[in-house]
Amino acid sequence: MNKRITQKLGIMGLSVSIGSAVMFTSLLSPAFASGVNEPVSAVPDVQKRINKIEEMPNLPQPYEMKNWKQTARQYDQFVFDFTKQGTFLPVGWWDKTHTNMQEDTFGLMSYVGKFSQGNDGSQEAINMMAAVLSATLVGIDKSNQNGKNYVKMLQTFYNKDNGENVILNNPNTVSGQTFWYEILPHVLFYALDSYYPDVDNMDAIMRSTADKWASAVQELGGKYGQADFNYTAYKFYRTEPFNNEQWTEPDAAAGVAMLEYMAYAKFKDAKYLQAAQLSMDFLQRQKDNPLYEVLLYFAPYMAARMNAEQAQSFDVDKMINWVFDGGSAVRDGWGTMTGKWGGYDADGLLGSLKDNGGYAFAMNTFSAFGALAPVVRYDPRYARDIGKWMLNAANQSRLFYADALPPDHQSGSDWQGDPQHVIPYEGLRKEMKGKTPYASGDPTVSGWGNTDFSLYSGSYAGFLGGLIDTTNVEGILKIDTLKTDYFHEDAYPTYLYYNPYKEAKSLDVTGIGSAPVDLFDSVSGHVLAASVTNQATITLAGDSAAVIVVVPAGKAIESSAKGLSAGGVFVAPLARPAINIRDLQAGQTVSGALPVTLEAAVPVNKKIKQVTITFADQEIYKGSEIPSPLQLDTKKFPNGFQQLQVDLEASNGQRDTAQMQLFVRNEGGTSILTADPAQMAAWTPISVMKGKGELKDGKVVVTETNDDGAYGGIASPAFKLDFSRQSFLIVDVDSASPEWTLQLHVKSEKWGLYIKPDGPETGHFVFDVMKELRRLRPDLPYLGVQDVELWLVAADKEGAQASFGGIDMFYQDEPVWKEKEWKAPQGAEAIANWIPLASMKGAAVKADDVALIREDNLLDRGGVGSPFMSVDLQRDPALDVNIAQASNEWSLMIYVKGKNEGVEVQAPTSQLGKKSYKLKDLVYEAYPQLDPKQPVDLQLWMLAQGDNKANVGIKSVKLSYGRNTHAKWLYIDIVALLVAAAMIASFMIRSRKTRGK
């Protein structure tokens, strides 16, 4: 039963705990409580912090907000005029090939003057669909514009003529190339269906393709209870995932969740909800940032919305920080820019953080607006930081356009075809040609286009123009949170406002209509103005945000388990606790005593029940208060990446978590290889591609001097590296002209192995060496200890140069399990969490009471490995396995850390059932040099083999010491005790006899 709130809106209140002091904030407005209908003040409360946004200014400088609605409308007018004349014009054409449809369609260039485009079939969905949606968001009806139905024309991307029956990036192509180019067109198409449901065949295409993606989620592991998106793409014509062995795109899970949840919201079919939940569950399980491209931007929105609507508990905090932080495990260095580039704030732009010190992309930045704006409807705790980011990003995004920078700070100032400057450059580089910033793109740099002006970027400008409006206060924006909240339930108009100033500001809320309304702020829980019409004035406190819901006057705010509503319409979620880690950034290098500042809040009339703080998986605090001061002694923990996590539980059972990965580097840690610039300058020329190193201004400058090509560099002294252990390499790169690369040379080989491919990126790099080696060469043959050199190479032209600071390389091993951790049988759930083998990759999922292991290796033999376990071979260890099923054959190996190969315990077989193995003799036979007095660290390898879909199902694995071992020693101990007892008794008898004499 709903609880009617009449006198008090405390359900949305927060009590704030900073340090050990607790302050309760009253969110009851005296004016509203007394029934006086007049504007009242919003109260600033503790909000959830987005780490990277803490580095941004509240008010960017210079402040020059572009008229985004006008820009988007003028862009539409320009690119859809196929009669334009001039150099590289028009940028669109009519396509009459009738591919996948009976009607004519159209095409748009992805770049102005792109060499390989302009012919029928070369058009891209991510460009054209965005252009139509963008125009729609700024009020243009694209289903009937000058008699043309551009929405209908987009059905050319529904590839039915070739039998695929999915929406792809080109009119005649196949799936299975790259997730993001195949999922984003579906998301855009579904979004268009939310605006144009009456256009013929839109619903049918949406439903049929949602069916296909729901089935794909099942084939990605959903049928076993856990989907796995660690692939490059999905091949619908083979109904199987695809890995190109070069990169993976795990953030596809966010895109699939988005399109499947849209399908569920529209059609109410439970299988779509299941697919969305399985996709989000994959993201929830990830410890590493999975960002590859724009699809991850949908993750925070999906997490927040599904938490509110489906009572889920997805980690919004983790996912939204993934978007901004820049610590992607699959595409290092992609995130959000901060700081000044020249005299311009670059804060908030999204792209590569390391390409020439920073390379922001317009398309990424623009599309993020649409994905993140609705988050605050479902989780108002993020209102302040999302509002602050949007203010920065909207202001800085003008720099993508030619009229925002001097001519010598851009690559295409000589092209005069766009006098209104409505087509942006693809990107903005921090530095190029000695200028900072520099607007350009990939076409002219890579030589495949005449200009860097990018339609596929400009087509997303409507995500700013449709959502953003200015107010009577310069610097305070009105942001529409509903326009990209596709297929939402009934809702009242909802707007986000952020005040970047230190002081409170009086703000006019306009466009609220002639019928009386109440302005409810879901951030503070206040009604800020009651029974107002047309326009109202509210006061917004400094550096705070409000999410204003325009509720018909007189409708009471009611509370239920589903949240707050008015007249049966969702208004806001229930208040939730918040915990923040302040003043630290993800990936930050820390050492010594680290002060940690925490900020916490719980709903009004609730208390903090428990706070738990862990670092490197070790609990360092548990209590009912925030410890203050809190100092973390990082010297007590191993060097390398370590997770700081704070879990808060409120007295009502609600929970919140803040987490951050930090890089611990204390002096005195064991290094594999370390060198400062002076030492590196003494390294020798690489024998097969010579270069030289010279010490200049505290850096080592590597110069290519190779007579046989444009690659040359220097080699470190030889050292030993264990390929079975996780090793990290820290490298600081000051400059590159034009490019540099980093390689590991195994002494028995002629050429090196890439750790980092050729590129111009500069900055501070931390490489997971083995991960990068195997990503770039999946068939890497090495295991165990090898003699190697590190090669620093200047690349891509004669006389190329690159400048480096110091380097440091060290191991970071996962903890080795002791007997108390491995002695219990490992069932299906535990085995499903074993890691893919580096040399024979596979994957595992839990299917009922079985761990299903499938091979995912080029050689059709692959599997997973257990954690390393410390085992005393003298105690005669035995291994028991229970095999439930096998599609082909399975095998079992053990690997001793540091060795060059594994030991076969079970040869390939198809036999099922329980099997037992003695390990002692097998290991000693394979490694006779092992010291029998020392335990060994070994890993179990479970392998499936036979074809590219081979799998094996395992019920349990148990490692134990031989039964007779303990009995033998127990027998010896008992005998010894009996002998000792007899001796004592004999002595006592003799003593008595002596005393009796």
Other CB atoms within 10 Å distance of the CB of residue 31: 18
pLDDT band at 39 (very low <50, low <70, confident <90, very high): very low
Mean pLDDT along residues 823-847: 88
pLDDT at 306: 98
Whether the per-residue pLDDT at 468 is higher than 80: the answer is: yes
pLDDT band at 24 (very low <50, low <70, confident <90, very high): very low
Whether the per-residue pLDDT at 27 is higher than 90: the answer is: no
For the chain, the 3-state helix, strand and coil shares in percent, each to the nearest 5, are 25, 35, 40
Please, are residues 423 and 78 in contact by the beta-carbon 8 Å criterion? yes
Whether the per-residue pLDDT at 38 is higher than 80: the answer is: no
Q: Alpha-carbon distance 778 to 775, whole Å?
A: 6
pLDDT band at 328 (very low <50, low <70, confident <90, very high): confident
pLDDT per residue as tens digits for the range 625-676: 998 888 999 999 888 889 999 999 999 999 999 999 999 988 776 789 999 9
Q: Alpha-carbon distance 325 to 396, whole Å?
A: 18
Give residue 74's Cα distance to chain centre: 34
pLDDT at 969: 41
If one compares 326 and 572, the residue with the highest pLDDT of the two is 572
pLDDT per residue as tens digits for the range 60-69: 999 999 999 9
Q: Which two tokens stand for residue 189?
A: 């198409």
Q: What does the DSSP 8-state code read for residue 523?
A: T
pLDDT at 986: 54
Please, are residues 316 and 307 in contact by the beta-carbon 8 Å criterion? yes
Please, are residues 512 and 536 in contact by the beta-carbon 8 Å criterion? yes
| 89-97 long-range Cβ contacts below 8 angstroms, 24+ apart | 89/417, 91/423, 91/455, 93/118, 93/120, 95/120, 95/121, 95/123, 95/156, 95/171, 96/120, 97/121, 97/171
Of the candidates 957, 956, 954, 951, which has an alpha carbon nearest to the alpha carbon of residue 889? 951
pLDDT per residue as tens digits for the range 679-692: 999 999 999 999 99
Q: Alpha-carbon distance 151 to 842, whole Å?
A: 43
Of the candidates 282, 380, 386, 280, which has an alpha carbon nearest to the alpha carbon of residue 324? 386
- Taking phi over 0 as left and psi of -120 to 50 as alpha, with beta for the rest, 701 belongs to beta
Mean pLDDT along residues 728-752: 93
pLDDT at 798: 93
Q: Which two tokens stand for residue 519?
A: 């302005």
pLDDT at 42: 32
Mean pLDDT along residues 120-132: 97
CA distances from 876 to 816, 935, 961, 964 (A): 19, 12, 6, 9
Contacts of 13 (CB under 8 A, 6+ apart): 25, 26, 27, 28, 525, 575, 603, 604, 605
pLDDT at 860: 79
pLDDT at 224: 87
Contacts of 1 (CB under 8 A, 6+ apart): none
CA distances from 24 to 14, 62, 527, 655 (A): 7, 38, 19, 19
Mean pLDDT along residues 114-130: 94
Please, are residues 942 and 853 in contact by the beta-carbon 8 Å criterion? yes
pLDDT at 23: 31
Mean pLDDT along residues 433-460: 95
Whether the per-residue pLDDT at 459 is higher than 80: the answer is: yes
Whether the per-residue pLDDT at 521 is higher than 80: the answer is: yes
β-pairing verdict for 340-341 and 344-345: antiparallel
Whether the per-residue pLDDT at 297 is higher than 60: the answer is: yes
Please, are residues 726 and 814 in contact by the beta-carbon 8 Å criterion? yes
pLDDT at 952: 95
415-443: burial string, b at 16+ Cβ within 10 Å, e else: bebbeebbbbbbbbbbbbeebbbbbbbbb
Give me the chain's average pLDDT, please: 90
Q: Which helix (H) or strand (E) holds 808?
A: strand 801-811
Mean pLDDT along residues 593-619: 93
Q: What is the largest CA-CA distance in the chain?
A: 133
Whether the per-residue pLDDT at 15 is higher than 60: the answer is: no
Ramachandran angles phi, psi of 205, nearest 5°: -65, -40
pLDDT at 514: 94
- Please tell me the pTM assigned to this model: 0.88
pLDDT at 327: 80
Helix, strand or coil for residue 798?
Answer: coil
Number of H helices, E strands in the chain: 22, 59
pLDDT at 44: 34
Q: Which two tokens stand for residue 564?
A: 């707050």
Whether the per-residue pLDDT at 30 is higher than 50: the answer is: no
pLDDT band at 16 (very low <50, low <70, confident <90, very high): very low
pLDDT per residue as tens digits for the range 852-872: 998 877 677 889 999 999 999
pLDDT at 242: 93
Contacts of 580 (CB under 8 A, 6+ apart): 46, 48, 49, 598, 599, 600, 658
Whether the per-residue pLDDT at 976 is higher than 70: the answer is: no
pLDDT at 988: 47
50-88: burial string, b at 16+ Cβ within 10 Å, e else: bbbbeebbbbbeeeebbebbebbbbbbebbbeeeeeeeb
Q: Which two tokens stand for residue 13?
A: 């209140």
Mean pLDDT along residues 376-401: 98
SS (H, E, C) 42-103: CCCCCCCCCHHHHHCCCCCCCCCCCCHHHHHHHHHHHHCCCCCCCCCCCCEEEECCCCCCCC
pLDDT at 837: 87
Mean pLDDT along residues 207-220: 97
Other CB atoms within 10 Å distance of the CB of residue 575: 29
Q: Alpha-carbon distance 454 to 300, whole Å?
A: 27
Please, are residues 893 and 903 in contact by the beta-carbon 8 Å criterion? yes
pLDDT per residue as tens digits for the range 268-283: 999 999 999 999 999 9
For the chain, what percent of residues have pLDDT higher than 90?
77
Mean pLDDT along residues 378-406: 98
Helix, strand or coil for residue 254?
Answer: helix
Please, are residues 766 and 883 in contact by the beta-carbon 8 Å criterion? no
pLDDT band at 45 (very low <50, low <70, confident <90, very high): low
Please, are residues 425 and 445 in contact by the beta-carbon 8 Å criterion? no
Give the end-to-end CA distance of the chain in Å, rounded to a whole number.
96
Specify the amino acid at residue 543: D
- Residue 575 sits at the vertex; the CA angle it makes with 572 and 577, to the nearest 5 degrees, is 145
